Structure 1
Amino acid sequence: MLSLFTGTERKQKRQTDEIKRGKRMQNAKEMFFTGKFPVVTTPTIKGRRIKRVLGLVSGRSYDSECAFYGLTASAIDIGADAIIGYQENVAFHPDGSKYFSCYGTAITFEPDDPKKRTRRSVMQ
């Protein structure tokens, strides 16, 4: 009888996790498309100084979009401001399916210093 109760709790927990994961992925997608969370293949982002390297983040899925936004969501979860050094791979399986892997380095930026702004950046 104990396993019956445990099974119900697990099912409810899975549904809750799926809802959270959906919101998490949607948040990552919105931040990427609005330009608030850059993902670049280069080792730096022009005009921004890296404050801290948080580490390698990765995303894997049979769907490329889920892999990418999973990677982005993971970086956001640990407090990153951006991902640098982004790379992706696709594995082709004999059954015709594809498996997507992507990874990059999660970083935080130095805060903007208002004193160092140029006249041009203030005017914009």
Structure 2
Amino acid sequence: MLSLFTGSDKKIRERHEELKKGARLKNAKELFFSGKFPVVTTPGLEGRKIRRVLGLVSGRGFDSECAFYGLTASALDIGADAIIGYQENVAFHPDGSRYFSCYGTAVILEKLPAAKTEAKPQTVKSFMH
């Protein structure tokens, strides 16, 4: 039996996936700009040790921001703390369009040691006269 409502469900699912993708990229952008998710071209981060290498992640698209934040979101999806060895390429097509491709290695970093706070000596005040 043919249902007239099948197309509607598909459109709703596609719209939901589009919204999730937009929120995913927005989160990646916020973490990158806040400095909480570093992306570097070097093979490591100065002052930080790599605890685990998760693997290669990539982002592609006709917009450089979508490619970059797609890459960042992919790394976040697998639990990465940073991307090292970042590289990017741009392909120019005869029709004038450009296609961006970027990749890097997703890593988990060693936790920073907790900042030690120096305990100040307590002074005892006397309330006796």
The TM-score normalised by the length of structure 1 is 0.88
- In the TM superposition, residue 6 of structure 1 has moved relative to its aligned partner by 3.1
* Greater helix proportion: 1
- 1:12 aligns with 12
Q: Which position in structure 1 is the counterpart of 2:32? A: 32
In structure 2, C-alpha distance between the alignment counterparts of 1:70 and 1:60, rounded to whole Å: 7
TM-score with structure 2 setting the length? 0.85
CA–CA distance in structure 2, aligned partners of residues 50 and 10 of structure 1? 43
Q: Provide structure 2 residue ranges, at least 5 long, that are not aligned to the other structure.
A: 119-129
Does residue 58 of structure 2 align to residue 71 of structure 1?
Answer: no
State the one-letter code of the partner of 2:110: E
Identity of aligned residues (%): 68
Q: Output aligned runs, 1:26-65, within 5 Å.
A: 26-65=26-65
Q: Which runs of 4+ in 1 moved over 4 A?
A: none
* Structure 1 segments unaligned to the other structure (5+ residues): none
The SS at the match of 2:5 is: helix
1:84 aligned residue: 84
Larger Rg: 2
Secondary structure of 1:87's counterpart equals strand
Partners of 1:46 and 1:10 in 2: CA distance = 48
Q: CA deviation at 1:46?
A: 0.3
Residue of structure 2 in register with 1:99 after alignment: 99
